[in-house]
Amino acid sequence: MSSIVPHLINGVRVQGTGRTADVYNPSTGAVTRQVALADGATLQQAIDAARAAFPAWRNTPPAKRAQVMFRFKQLLEQNEAEISRLISEEHGKTLEDAAGELKRGIENVEFACGAPELLKGDYSRNVGPHIDAWTDLQPVGVVAGITPFNFPAMVPLWMYPLAIVCGNCFILKPSERDPSSTLYIAELLIEAGLPKGVMSVVHGDKEAVDGLIESPHVKALSFVGSTPIAEYIYSEGTRRGKRVQALGGAKNHAVLMPDADLDNAVGALMGAAYGSCGERCMALSVAVCVGDEVADALVARLVPQVRALKVGAGTACGLDMGPLVTGAARDKVKGYIDAGVAQGASLVVDGRDLVVAGHENGFFVGGTLFDRVTAQMSIYTDEIFGPVLCIVRVGSLEEAMQLINDHEYGNGTCIFTRDGEAARLFCDEIEVGMVGVNVPLPVPVSYHSFGGWKRSLFGDLHAYGPDGVRFYTRKKAITQRWPRRASHEAAQFAFPSNS
């Protein structure tokens, strides 16, 4: 076993003292390293460093902040292979998938490079006699992000590049399950010229999360993870007067209309349902078929492709799927498959008994396909977070839309059709935050914003893009008057106006 993965505080590695957690290679099931878990004193060290760095950083010109991000982007691109390897070793996703995750994260760094334009306020001259008015976008202060295991590179890059170019200091609490790539990327940011204290990485569990929530010096919290934790962070954070955006769980549906290009839809479903072993909050886990004819044809095309999925150690090349992140995650997914069978769904392809030669102790589950799933089954209601696709049969588009609108989650959805009228109705009436038309993973590009509806998002603002700028800044309205020296006016006791 290698040494402990440390924290990064005030520009240097900090080993910390006390508790640690095991970090596994999911492909072998072996513990490869440990990660330090922060106590209150370690977390306070990061908060103090951020507070000390904030006055100078907030007054650094946005163009200079952006220059750091330009250098950071270049370093990320130069180190793509190493970052992808670290992600794959600890998460289990394939190298190709890890590289794709990093590229989407880099897009957010590119957006942050536009800080001088993004932070321009509005200006109005002569709103009254000799009076000018303008708005100023000012940083919030010390802010924090709590990120999940499934995207150890991309999701943190949703948060801190934009927060930092907006003039804030940032504390990142990444997942303790796969911390090495996140730490490596943060050190690249320091190498790019970020001043000490502006960015810290503090590993930990609930103790660290509660410390960030409870600290009066942390002014805003960003979170991506499960709905129960998102709701907890939102309620506890806002109760203390913090600004909070907390992105939660999902159950994403794909609607297949009778006129859908089925071959293209099948290819899209395969990647969206089984890519990254289904450990995506935007994974398509339910295919809603309008009519039995569509459903029968879909099953006939899916079965051979699901059975042919190439599954193995994520660090190998040419694979479709790697393992799940932990043994507990594997067992949870298998438990859902058991429940689906017990509740009467038709198990068409069973991935529970998959064994990868040479990796018999890895956390593997093969691609799994259920047909004739109903809305009462747990495999339909719950976010499984594994390589399980459920087929639901309905009689009309309206029935499909009602099914989706009735679900507690509203993260992402899509429709496969050649009918513009159906697509427009779907986009208008579906109660979901991100919608695709013949696009299986409608993840917005970096200059839009990411977020769901209903119990998939707690808070008013979505992640990254324009909403990210709004979240990480406070708007100040300034009204200024410089009257001519010879001009003197009597006191006015009525409310001022420009009439």
What positions carry a catalytic annotation? 281
Q: What whole-number distance in Å separates Cα of residue 208 and Cα of residue 176?
A: 11
Distance CA 77, CA 198 (A): 22
d(CA 171, CA 346): 47
User: Which of 215, 212, 214, 217 has the alpha carbon at shortest distance from 201?
Assistant: 212
Here the tokens at position 431 are: 């109660």
- Counting beta carbons within 10 angstroms of the beta carbon of residue 70, is it exposed (0 to 12), middle (13 to 18) or buried (19 or more)? middle
CA distance 343 to 363: 25
Return the sign of the alpha-carbon dihedral for residues 303, 307, 310, 311.
positive
**Which residues are registered as beta bridge partners of 346?**
371
d(CA 95, CA 89): 9
d(CA 414, CA 474): 34
Per-residue DSSP letters for 423-449?
HHHHHHH---SEEEES-S--PPPTTS-
454: part of which helix (H) or strand (E)? strand 453-454
DSSP helix/strand/coil, 400: helix
User: Are 47 and 221 within 8 A, CB to CB?
Assistant: no
Q: 200 is written with which tokens?
A: 């810290």
